[in-house]
Amino acid sequence: MLAIGGRAPEFTLPDQDDQNVSLSTLLRHGPLILYFYPADFTPGCTKEACVIRDLHAEIQQVGLDVAGVSPQSPATHRSFRGKYKLPFTLLSDSDKFVIRMYDVLGPLGFGVRRATFLIDQARYIRAALLADFRIAQHSEFIRRAVALSAGTAR
């Protein structure tokens, strides 16, 4: 996993609409919560995405944006977004290139580790969490990022 204080690597991946989206584009309006997850439609990943959906208004209110990354296709992401009414971008990393860059590839090269990063507009990693099966820790991480951003937005 990339270290706090380091630079987040630039990347470009297709989103759920098969449009290329770069990290710089995602950071255009403010800091970003970038989360990596194993797969669409699995119980844990669905729970995590729905928690982020439910926090999305608060996330945006403090000037943050959010995007998820997993290896599924844009079409699968589109279905996942539609079924659960997810208002944020989902990026398709089918070759796991970005997953490797962010050092969140699963054990022995299989799967994806559940990781969440808070990245500022200069692409520095301000906070990070790796908690594979502890989804509640990711929602708490996001709540803390929202609280911190609310404090700096005033």
pTM for the model? 0.94
153 pLDDT above the threshold of 60: no
Residue 18 CA to residue 75 CA, distance in Å, equals 8
Q: Read off the pLDDT of each residue in 45-65 and give the average, rounded to a whole number.
A: 95
Residue 71 CA to residue 69 CA, distance in Å, equals 7
Domain boundaries, the chain: 14-147
Most confident region among 80-84, 107-111, 130-134 by mean pLDDT? 80-84
- pLDDT bracket for residue 109 (50, 70, 90): confident
- pLDDT bracket for residue 135 (50, 70, 90): confident
Structural fold of domain 14-147: Glutaredoxin (3.40.30)
50 part of the active site: no
Task: Please check whether residue 41 is in contact with residue 71, taking contact to mean a CB–CB distance below 8 angstroms.
Answer: no
Of the listed 8, 32, 45, 104, which one is catalytic? 45
Phi, psi of 93, deg, nearest 5:
-115, 65
Residue entry with tokens 């590839």: 105
